[in-house]
A = this chain, B = another copy of it.
Amino acid sequence: MVVKRNTWQREAVREALGDTDGFVSAQGLHSALRDSGSPIGLATVYRALADLATEGDADSLQSLDGESLYRACTPGTHHHHLICRNCGLTVEISADPVETWARSVAADNGFTQAAHIVDVFGLCAECSRAAAQSGTAQADPR
C-alpha cells in the first residue's frame, strides 16, 4: 500500500460512524448504511473500520460476547469509556490516575512497551431509574 485513495465508501463509513452514538459492530454499521440506501459491501465496512481504528479516528473494544465494536472518537487524545450496558450511552473519560498507575505497575515489574485496556460498564442514570421502577428485585443482569 503505497498511496491511500479516496473513496466514497470510506467517507460513508466515517459519516455513519459519526452519526452513531455509542459503539457499533461492523455488521450493525453495515445494516445501517444499507437501510439508508447505500449499496456498500460488508467487507468494505470491515476494512474501513479497521483503517479508521489504526489511523486513530475510531476507538474499538471487544463486546462482552467477543465481537469488535467501534466508535468515532475525538482523534489524537488517549481516553477511555464509560458505557451503559443497557442503552449503549457512552461517555469519554480521561483517566490520568489510571495512566500513571499503568505505567508504574508495568515498570515495577520490568515490563516495557506497556499498553492497557480500561473500560467501565454500568447503567446510566436513566436506565438505572427505569430498572428501579420495573422491578426492585433486579436479578442477574447478564
Contact = CB atoms under 8 A, between A and B. Distances in A.
Q: A interface, how many residues as a size bin?
A: 20 to 34
Given A62-B62, A62-B66, A68-B66, A115 B122 contact: yes
A32 interface: no
A27 to B, nearest CB: 14
Q: How many copies does the complex hold?
A: 2
B118 A122 contact: no
A139 interface: no
Given A97-B97, A98-B97, A106-B82, A122 B114 contact: yes
Contacts of A101: 95, 97-98
A110 B97 contact: no
A67 B13 CA distance: 26
Contacts of A114: 120-122
Given A116-B118, A117-B121, 9 more contacts: A62-B62, A66-B67, A82-B111, A84-B111, A102-B120, A109-B125, A111-B128, A112-B128, A113-B122
